[in-house]
Amino acid sequence: MRKMTVAEAIREALRLEMKRDERVFIMGEDVGKFGGCFGVTQGLYEEFGPERVKDTPISETAIIGSAVGAAATGMRPVPEIMFCDFLTVPMDQLVNQAAKMRYMFGGKAKIPMTVRVPVGAGMSAAAQHSQCLEAWFIHVPGLKVVMPSTPADHAGLLISSIRDDNPVMFFEHKMLYGVEGEVPDEIEPIPLGKADIKREGEDVTVIATSMMVYKSLEAAKELEKDGISIEVVDPRTLFPLDKETIFESVKKTNRVVIVHEAVKRGGVGAEIAAQIADEMFDYLDAPIKRVAALNVPIPFSPPLEKYVVPDVKDIINAVKSIAR
C-alpha cells in the first residue's frame, strides 16, 4: 500500500490505462500544458504528448460529441468537462447521442468513453460552479454513473470505466482532490456495480456518496459516543447500483438514511429509497430518511453555502430521528 491523494490516484489510473492501451486519450479544456483546472492531469501532457492529451477550445459540445464519434469508431476517449455545471452545454451529445446510439442502432455500436467531471460545493464558487448533477444521468438509460469517494476507489473504478464499452459518467468531488488515502501498489480494476461498506455497524444503514462518505464517517464517530452504531455503505456506482449490498445492510439494521450533496428533490436518494421501499418494505422499522442539499442553487456567500450543503450534524440528526 502507498499513500495517494484522490487527484494522484486518478492521474495514476489515467497513466496506467494510457500505457496499456494506445486507444485511450484525454481531451478537455486546459488539460494539457496547464495540467487541468484542478491539476489532475499534470504531467500527462509531458509524458504522452499533445496527440493523446489534447487541449480543446472552449466547446463542450465538440468535446463530448467528438468523443462520441471517436469512441464509435475505435478509440477510447476520456474527455474532461471542467466543472459539472458545464455538462448542461453538451447535454444533447450525452443524452441523445452517446447514451442512445447503441440501442437505436439495434446493438450495433459501442461507445467506450469516460467523461470525467468535478462536482461539488465548498469553495464559494456559486451557482454555476458547484453543482452535483449525477441524478440527471441515472435517469438516462444507456449511461453508467460512477461517483467514488476514496483515492483507491477513484483509481480502481476509473480503470474499469475506461475499459467499459459503454459511456460512463465519472463524478469526482473537487474538494476531495487533495484528500489522501491508501492505494494498493498494484492498482486493480474495481468492478462497476459493486458497493463498499466503509464502516460496519448495527443500528442504522447510512448510504452515502462522494464527499458525504467522509461526513458520514465523521458522524459515525460522534454517534458512537451516544451508543449508536451506523453502517456506512458507499454505492460507488449509482448505475449499475449494487442493490444486494445495500439490501443486506438494511436486513441487518432495518433503518436507512441516504446522504448526498446534490439537492434532495429528484436526487439519487429518491431512487435508492424507492428501491428499498419496493423490495425491503418488510425489513424496515422506520421511514427512510434523506439528507441532502436544500432545494436551491448553491449560493456564493460562505454562511449561505455552508447552510445549503448537508453537514455532519444533519446526518447525526437524521440518524437520531430514526435510531431505536
Partner 1 sequence: MKLKKEELLHFYRKMVEIRKFETKVVELFADGMIPGFVHSYIGEEAVAVGACSNLNDDDYITSTHRGHGHLIAKGGHMDKMMAELFGKETGYCKGKGGSMHIADVDLGILGANGIVGGGFPIAAGAGLSAKMRGTNQVAVCFFGDGASNQTTFHEGINLASIWDLPVVFVCENNMYGISLSQKEHQHIKDISDRATAYGIPGVTVDGNDVIAVYEAVKEAVKRARQGEGPTLIECKTYRHRGHFEGDPTVYRSEEEVEQWKKKDPIKRFRKKLLELGTVTEDELNSIDEEVDKMVEEAVEYAKKGKFPEPEKAVEDVYTDIVEEVRE
Q: Which does 295 bind (CB under 5 to 8 A by kind): partner 1, ligand TPP, none?
A: partner 1
Measured from the CB atom, the residue of 86 and 239 that comes closer to ligand TPP is 86
What residues between 14 and 33 interact with partner 1 by CB under 8 A?
29-30, 32-33
Minimum distance from CB of 61 to partner 1 (Å)?
5
Q: With contact defined as beta carbons under 8 Å apart, do 205 and 298 qualify? A: no
User: If binding is defined by CB under 8 A, does position 124 make contact with partner 1?
Assistant: yes
Residues marked active site are found at 129
Smallest gap from residue 169 Cβ to ligand TPP (A): 17
The answer to whether 89 contacts ligand TPP (rule: CB under 6 A) is: yes
How many Å apart are CA 96 and CA 93, to the nearest integer? 6
Q: Of 38, 86, 137, 177, which one interacts with ligand TPP (CB under 6 A)?
A: 86
- Subset of 7-46 contacting ligand TPP (CB under 6 A): 29
Contact partner at residue 124 from ligand TPP, partner 1, none, CB < 5 to 8 Å by partner kind:
partner 1
Kindly indicate which of the ranges 94-102, 124-132, 157-165, 169-177 contains the residues binding partner 1, using the contact rule CB under 8 A: 124-132
Least distance (Å) from ligand TPP to the CB of residue 174? 13
Q: Does 105 bind partner 1 (CB under 8 A)?
A: no
- SS3 annotation, the chain: CEEEEHHHHHHHHHHHHHHHCCCEEEEECCCCCCCCCCCCCCCHHHHHCCCCEEECCCCHHHHHHHHHHHHHCCCEEEEECCCHHHHHCCHHHHHHHHCCHHHHCCCCCCCCCEEEEEECCCCCCCCCCCCCCHHHHHCCCCCEEECCCCHHHHHHHHHHHHHCCCCEEEEEEHHHCCCEEEECCCCCCCCCCCCEEEECCCCEEEEECCHHHHHHHHHHHHHHHCCCCEEEEECCEEECCCHHHHHHHHHHHCCEEEEEEEECCCCHHHHHHHHHHHHHHHHCCCCCEEEEECCCCCCCCHHHHHHHCCCHHHHHHHHHHHCC
- Looking at the Cβ atoms of 129 and 243, the one nearer to partner 1 is 129
* Site residue total, partner 1 (CB under 8 A): 38
- List 4, 10, 40, 82, residue binding ligand TPP (CB under 6 A): 82
Q: CA 69, 70, 76, 80 torsion: positive or negative?
A: negative
* Inter-residue contact 219 to 319 (CB < 8 Å): yes
C-beta of 307: minimal distance to partner 1 in Å? Answer: 4
Binding to partner 1 by CB under 8 A, coded x per residue (else -) over 280-309, reads --------------xxxx-xxxxxx-xxx-
The contact pattern for partner 1, residues 56-95, with x = CB under 8 A and - = no contact, is -xxxxx-----------------------xx-xx------
Q: How far is the CB of 229 from ligand TPP (least distance, A)?
A: 44
Binding site for ligand TPP (CB under 6 A): 29, 58, 60, 82, 86, 89
